[in-house]
Structure 1
Amino acid sequence: MRGLLFTSSKSSSPSTQSPARTPVSHHHLTFSASIQEEDLLYAEQVIKRWDLDSTKHDCLFTVDRREARQFIKSVKNLQSAMHLFVSENASSEKIIHAQKLMQIAMKRLEKEFYQILSANRDVLDSESVSNRSSRARSSVSDDENAWEEDDRGSTSGTTVSDGDRVTVSEMVMADLKSIADCMIGSGYGKECVKIYKILRKSIVDETMYNLGVEKYSLNQINKMSWEVIEPKIKAWLHALKVALKSLFYGERILCDYVFSSSDKIRESCFSEICKERAVMLFEFPELVARSKKSMDRMFRTLDMYSAIFDQWSDIEMIFAFDATAVVRTQAVTSYAKLGEAVRAMLTDFETVLQKEASKAPVNGGGIHPLTRYVMNYLVFLSDYIESLSEILADWPLDHVTSPLPESYFSAMNSDVSSTVSARIAWLLLVLLCKIDAVAELYKDVAQSYLFLVNNLNYVVSKVSNSNLRLLIGEDWLEKHKQKVKQYAGNYERMGWSKVISSLPANPTVENLSIEEARDCFRRFNLEFNEACQKQSTWVISDHKLRDEIKISLSKKIFPAYQTLYERFREHFRGVHSVVRYAPDDLGNYLSDLFHGAGAPGSSNTSSHSSSSLSRSR
């Protein structure tokens, strides 16, 4: 060696240098082989100690994690030795012996891999895996070092305190990864992958079944009543959230981690484990969207659309592999079909609303059923502004036969989709036209205005207290609040003008004679009684509006009557046919109005007002 290393380059020639290289290579190979043989002997001791045919121990990784690390290291050394032996003599007895040892080792690791996966389902559940610590999401090399340095004994049945450096789930995952890396590196990846796919797929299948995700055909969905489909949609919404936030996400993390040494393997594993159930999950919305259309299905359809819309980033991230492209495609298809279904149902809603024609007025001038239905429908729609903006983005309001005036949109909120605002505004306008048409059916003009007060106030209230306010704008709201006040004023004028005009404009004038006062009382009695009788079944649904109108009527009637009453009641004492009502009676009668419960005084009026009304009849 000394002579070879220190031979002068000047005295050397190509012909004399060439023989010198052979001894170097030979000595080097001899030295390496001796080291490998020692490693092989040590590996043989460790591997045979855990031969499935001879050992009584069930699980290496459960019994002694130090021994488990030595076993993995021995397998890697065995593999290195085999490479060296092959380079020397591919058919040597050493190769055959090493191959037998490798088969023993792989059978043990195969069993270990199966037992760890089977025994630790509770710590490998998707939620635990998806909530792994930041340490467990570190680089692969860090994970390998952590596993090699971990001296704890068992990964099964161990209680890990909060202060431990590594959680039980991370320990288990590290064990699985070390086995997978070793088997794949040794050329036994197929056996490892097969076990993993079978066990993890069974967990995914079981979880999805428990979440209520089943395979349906379009024919099956069409045969189901809405009462059957709606609970299934609710279950689907819950299942989607669990699947994306926990199940599929957790499986993706676990797969990526355990098979980080091979992109191809981790992709094929995740695809085979989750693809079938994921496609089934996203098929259901498409089937519902393609089934029978009904306006009542609108909001559940929007729920499914919004769920996919809101979680699209998760869908793309989890199923980013080429092998799972079919899942993304199915999600996009369902998303598009749900949007088409919403458009179809919205068109049906508009058509039904425009064709609606009421042939009879509502009793008492109350809120029309159409007003209630349409406004509640629109309020629910306004909760889906973001989804509707997507659905209606390229669906302009060009089918409307009589376009809305430009001024109708001047107050629209620019922060939301103008397409959604325009469509909602159009539907509101159609509804208000229907309300006007029903108002014309009333024979009594005062009751017609009361109907307009009730219905327009209901519309305004619903807009004011919902997301419709964002769509329609403050100007629209203020404009229609003023209309409510205008209609209320018209009602008071048409319904109570004769009562008000029966009283003197200035009852304090000295030249009002007793006979003139008598005539005032008689006319007032007649008109007030008639107004109360006529309006005894009329309704003002909103209690605040009801109180405002009562107060307004009281201010118009009570002061003039009280002055007349106080000045002339002494002249007509005991003559009930002339002075029929005390001032307090008027308030009692007015307080009984607009409840739609019958004649005033029938339930909660004072005894005096009840007897007075009885005499007036």
Structure 2
Amino acid sequence: MPTPSSSSNPLSSISSFPSSYTHTPSYPIHTFSKSMMEAKIESAEPIITRWELNSFSYTKDLSLFNHMRKEGQELLKSVKDLCRAMHFLVSENSPSDKLALAQTLMQIAMKRVAYEFYWILSKHCDQLDPGSVAGQSSNELRNSDEEEEASEDKNKLKRASETTEVESASQFAMSDLKAIADCMISSGYGKECIKIYKLSRKSVVDERLYQLGIEKFKASRIQKLNWEELEQMMKNWLSAVKIVVKTLFSGEKALCHCVFSASDMIKESCFCHIMEEGAMNLFRFPEIIAKSKKSQEKIFRQLELHEALTDLWPEIEMIFNSDSTSAIKLQALSSKQKLGDSIRTILSDFESRIQKDSSKTPAIGGGIYPLTESAMSFICSLGDYSRILSEIVAEYPPRNSTVTETCIGGSASPASFHLAWLILVLLCKLDCKAETHRKDVALSYLFLANNLSFIIEKVKTSQLKDLLGDGWLSVHTKKLKQYVLNYETIAWTKVFSSLPEKSSSAITPEAAMECFQRFNAAFEEAYMKQTSWIVPDGKLRDELRVSIAEKLVPEYREFFDTYVVMLNGNRNLKVLARFEPDDLGNYLSDMFHGAPILVDFSSSSSCSKSPGCILR
């Protein structure tokens, strides 16, 4: 860790340590004689002066707790004895030349232990890494991915050995820090101890945040970023926040509570000072994002930010559970709420854009409307965030929930209801768009069938299938079949009605000729029109062709076989009976590709035998 500049060096406060002793120790004072207390002062003198920082001896550059822990513990014991003796002499109000000596020794001792405190905090930074400390306080913070990678016994043993060494060093450092802190606080030097600790640990936390890519977020700067830059910033935040909360923040709290376990007030005050700036900055970022300009493309990252805060909320509440850190928790909560508001606004805007779509341009050939594609792409992507979306929209159900309940059931999740509602809004808009084909009602139904088929397929092949359920699919599949039936009925009624009814008696040759002429004209019209129509879904396209053929070909074949014999002597027979029954299937196969085909129907009476008569 970089050495702090002289202006921020915590040890600079040592020179201003109190010169007189007025502290009342926390331990009970027993009855001792004056001579016994003076003897304790005399016993403490050589131990304390030996480690005086201002001397020119080699001891100045050594850390007792790093190289000679036994001597360090002896020093703390001497300070404790010295403190007890000073308190006795002061309480007895008995003149003693030893009291002045004791005050001088206390100054020397406190400078030394303060140095040791700072030295441990600085030099043992790796052992006091919040990740290591957090790992000791909770087994849940162990990295499962790393455990899986080290599958071989040898690697496991090596890692276990290294972990044990790190934890051992960490435990020693924490134990020494606690002992020194208890000593300084009980001796009346708590203020100096706390200052050293705050400055040292805050620099560590700030450095860790910087290394994880958490910079100081400013709303004015974020508002100016383009989408690519903003998205990268959100990715960085998402990749860091879990580590920061579960490792950095929790580990720092564990360390702080260990070192200052003797005082709840001190440990909470220290932890708040160390955390407040970095944590407030971290948790303010999502709120800044939530307040930025709304757009559909931002909603998915905002959902991820909201999800991260939701998943981490139990840890956030546990870590920042004191009055002193309540502002940090409130900031995290505020960001979560603002994200929820922003996401609901974007969803509402999306719904409004569907309802207000004013394009009058019909879909070419009754195909997929552009709004259908873009809206379903967005809705399907929302389905991937159903868990967090349910939490966000739970208190804001659709305006007409009974409509969606009939399709997906009343026990569905809030996200299921909301997504079903958005699809319903889209379907209602498509009903309106179908009116752009009002000059050809059959094409209107084909348009509705195409778009509903597209929507159903998107639901089947996405997370929406599980969210909306079989009930929704069943209802809308029936609706699709009805659209198809309506299309067939309207588009082919003229063709079917050109043939005589089966129940009618035999007709005259003249009537048969008229039937052939009506059929030729009706079929040619239907064929030429519907080759320009489109059905993008291959399965639906084949089903339509088969359905039309099954209804049309048998009826025409019966008519053809019955009356073509009757007209056999007619010189215009080839013109009248220009379509043989097998021709119809070939012609139907050309339909619904959206590319009109030019056909000279009068050039041949048997296209089934001469495919070249179809001029593409």
> Superposed, which structure 2 residues align to 1:501-540 within 5 Å?
531-540=526-535
Contact 1:302 1:342 in 2 (8 A): yes
**Shift of residue 307 of structure 1?**
2.9
Letter in 2 for 1:438: K
Q: Which amino acid aligns with 2:423?
A: L
Q: CA deviation at 1:580?
A: 7.5
Corresponding position: 1:458 with 2:454: yes
Q: Are the structure 2 counterparts of residues 165 and 54 from structure 1 closer, same or farther at C-alpha, using a change threshold of 3 Å?
A: closer
Q: Which residue of 2 aligns with 1:612?
A: 611
SS of alignment partner, residue 436 of structure 2: coil
Distance of 1:171 and 1:566 partners within structure 2: 104
Q: Aligned equivalents of 2:81 and 2:421: distance in 1?
A: 78
The C-alpha deviation readout for 1:29-62, integer Å capped at 9, x for no partner, is: 27854873685367448x5488764224522222
- Counterpart-to-counterpart distance in 1, 2:307 and 2:395: 18
Aligned-pair CA distance for 1:269: 1.3
C-alpha distance in 2 between matches for 1:447 and 1:470: 32
The yes-or-no answer on 1:548 pairing with 2:549 is no
* Match for residue 131 of structure 2 among 124, 127, 130: 127
Alpha carbons 2:38, 2:85 under 8 Å: kept? no
Q: Distance in 2 between matches of 1:328 and 1:534?
A: 66
What's the CA shift string for 1:367-404, capped at 9, x where partnerless? 1111222233333444445545554455465xx6xxx4
Render the CA deviation track for 1:170-224: whole Å, top value 9, x for unaligned: 3332232222222222222223222222222122223333444444554444444
Query: Cα gap change, 1:600/1:436 in structure 2, threshold over 3 Å: closer, same or farther?
Result: farther
Q: Which amino acid aligns with 1:54?
A: S
User: Is the 1:49–1:55 contact (alpha carbons within 8 Å) kept by the matching residues of 2?
Assistant: no
Asked if structure 1 preserves the Cα contact closer than 8 Å seen for 2:553 and 2:581, the reply is no
Pair 1:161–1:522, CA change in 2 (3 A)? same
Residues 308, 331 of structure 1: 8 Å contact kept: yes
Structure 1 partner of 2:15: none
Counterpart Cα distance in 2 of 1:71 and 1:515:
128
Q: Which runs of 5+ in 1 are unaligned?
A: 1-25, 138-158, 602-607
Residues 36-51 of structure 1 correspond to what in structure 2 (within 5 A)?
36=40, 39-40=43-44, 43-44=47-48, 47-48=50-51
> Which deviates further from its counterpart, 476-485 or 524-533?
524-533
CA distance in 2, matches of 1:366, 1:530: 20
Counterparts of 1:588 and 1:321 in 2: how far apart (Å)? 80
Give, in whole Å, the separation in 1 of the partners of 2:390 and 2:139. Answer: 41
Percent of aligned pairs sharing the same letter: 45
Where does the alignment leave 5 or more consecutive residues of structure 2 unmatched? 1-29, 142-159, 600-606
1:435 CA drift (Å): 0.9
Partner of 1:438 in structure 2?
433
Q: Greater CA deviation, 308-317 or 97-106?
A: 97-106
- Three-state SS of the structure 2 residue aligned to 1:415 is coil
Q: How does 1:474-493 map to 2 (within 5 A)?
A: 474-493=470-489
1:589–1:600 contact (8 Å) kept in structure 2:
no
Q: Which amino acid aligns with 1:541?
A: P
Identify if the C-alpha distance between structure 1 residues 547 and 128 changes in structure 2 by more than 3 Å, giving closer, same or farther: farther
Q: CA RMSD in A?
A: 4.6
Q: Deviations over 1:298-344 (max 9, x none)?
A: 33333333333332222221112222222122223333333333333
Shift of 1:268: 1.6
Structure 2 CA distance for aligned equivalents of residues 133 and 550 of structure 1: 70
Question: Structure 1 residues 91 and 269 mapped into 2: Cα distance closer, same or farther (>3 Å)?
Answer: farther
Distance 1:186 1:581, change over 3 A: farther
Q: Which range moved further: 56-65 or 523-532? A: 523-532
User: 1:423 Cα deviation (Å)?
Assistant: 5.0
Question: In 2, Cα distance between the equivalents of 1:581 and 1:92?
Answer: 133
Q: What is residue 242 of structure 1 aligned with on the other side?
A: 243
Q: What are the within-5 Å matches in structure 2 for residues 334-483 of structure 1?
A: 334-395=335-396, 404=400, 406=402, 409-416=405-412, 423-442=418-437, 443-466=439-462, 468=464, 472=468, 474-483=470-479
- Mapping of residues 99-498 of structure 1, within 5 Å: 99-132=103-136, 161=162, 166-395=167-396, 404=400, 406=402, 409-416=405-412, 423-442=418-437, 443-466=439-462, 468=464, 472=468, 474-495=470-491
Deviations 1:434-475 (A, max 9, x none): 111222222433332221111112223344455555665543
Q: Does 1:77 align with 2:106?
A: no
The residue number in structure 2 matching 1:141 is none
SS at structure 1 position matched to 2:346: helix
Over 3 Å counting, the alpha-carbon distance change for 1:93 and 1:162 in structure 2 is same
Counterpart CA distance in 2 for 1:599 and 1:373 is: 31
Aligned partners of 1:43 and 1:77 also within 8 Å: no
> CA 1:230 to 1:176, structure 2 compared with 1: closer, same or farther past 3 Å?
same
Partner of residue 55, structure 1: 58
Contact 1:439 1:449 in 2 (8 A): yes
Name the TM-score, length of structure 2 as normaliser.
0.74
Other structure's SS at 2:534 match: coil
Distance 1:278 1:85, change over 3 A: same
Please report how far the alpha carbon of residue 272 of structure 1 lies from its aligned counterpart in structure 2 after TM superposition: 1.2
Which stretch has the larger CA shift, 311-320 or 387-396?
387-396
Change (3 A) 1:480 1:111: same
Q: 1:538 is matched by which residue type in structure 2?
A: W
- Residue 151 of structure 2: aligned partner: none
| 1:177 match: secondary structure | helix
8 Å CA contact 1:536–1:600 kept in 2: the answer is no
What secondary structure is seen at the aligned counterpart in 2 of 1:131?
helix
Deviation, 1:482, is 0.4
Verify the 8 A CA contact 2:34 2:89 in the aligned structure 1: no
Structure 2 CA distance for aligned equivalents of residues 231 and 533 of structure 1:
53
